[in-house]
Amino acid sequence: MHLNPQPKILVIIPAYNEAENIGSVLDEIKGTGLPLDILVIDDGSFDRTTEVAQAHGARVVRLPINLGIGGAVQTGFKFARDNGYEVAIQIDGDGQHIPSELPILLDVLARNEADLCIGSRYIGERQYRTPFARRLGMIVFTSVNSLLIGQRVTDNTSGFRAYNRRAIEFLSRYYPTDYPEPEVVVILGRTGFRIQERAVKMRPRHSGAQP
């Protein structure tokens, strides 16, 4: 599937109690000048995440209860499917991802080189420092997933991703809930979807703590 010269793109931002961060994330995305729409999935927050996101011009779907990252992101995929988006971009709401690097992922889809492109912290310059215990877990995911799909994916837990229409339609129906990012790699890899990674930089949270 080749994308149109100007595909319809949706940015999906799952957010839980990210009132301190979401405004600057949205401003950065808009600052890229890319032709895209933004959807914040407020995953049952009890702070002002929805109000701040709306004040910064985002469309918001507010879930009545906390479904977790899997349920929140799948909600975004269903919205993208039902509204004719050709590309969905997943970005965390905590400020770790750098929106100016979106073209790196989008270019892979535009060239029809993958159905899913993952922004990886662990290829290229590798400036990102992960806590040791968490890094061990990532090594396990990398080893297991590589065996399961016959392809090495260095950053299975990255939440900075771009999906084409084929992947959107599939994941709107079949999206995992427990460990969604690494499980998506396995599900897509074992059902014939093409996966690529590209080097990106990431930074610490703007503020707040990881939920």
In whole numbers, what is the pLDDT of the chain averaged over residues? 89
Q: What is the pLDDT of residue 178?
A: 82
In terms of Cβ atoms closer than 10 Å to its own Cβ (0-12, 13-18, 19+), residue 85 is: buried
Per-residue tokens: 30: 């808009």
Angle among Cα 115, 117, 120 to the nearest 5 degrees reads: 160
Residue 211: pLDDT over 50 = no
Task: Quickly list H helices, 6-67.
Answer: 22-31, 49-55
Confidence (pTM): 0.88
Q: Where are the domains of the chain?
A: 9-199
Between CA 61 and CA 42 the distance in angstroms is 6
What does the pLDDT look like over 111-148, one tens digit per residue? 999 999 999 998 876 555 555 555 565 566 566 666 66
Residue 1: pLDDT over 50 = no
Q: What is the pLDDT of residue 139?
A: 62
* Torsion over CA: 164, 168, 171, 173 (sign): negative
Residue 209: pLDDT over 50 = no
CATH fold for the domain made of 9-199: Spore Coat Polysaccharide Biosynthesis Protein SpsA; Chain A (3.90.550)
Between CA 182 and CA 197 the distance in angstroms is 13
Task: Quickly list H helices, 111-207.
Answer: 132-149, 165-171, 180-190
Give Cα separations from 15 to 72, 115, 125 (angstroms): 8, 24, 28
Cα-Cα-Cα-Cα torsion 133, 130, 211, 198, nearest 10 degrees, comes to: -130
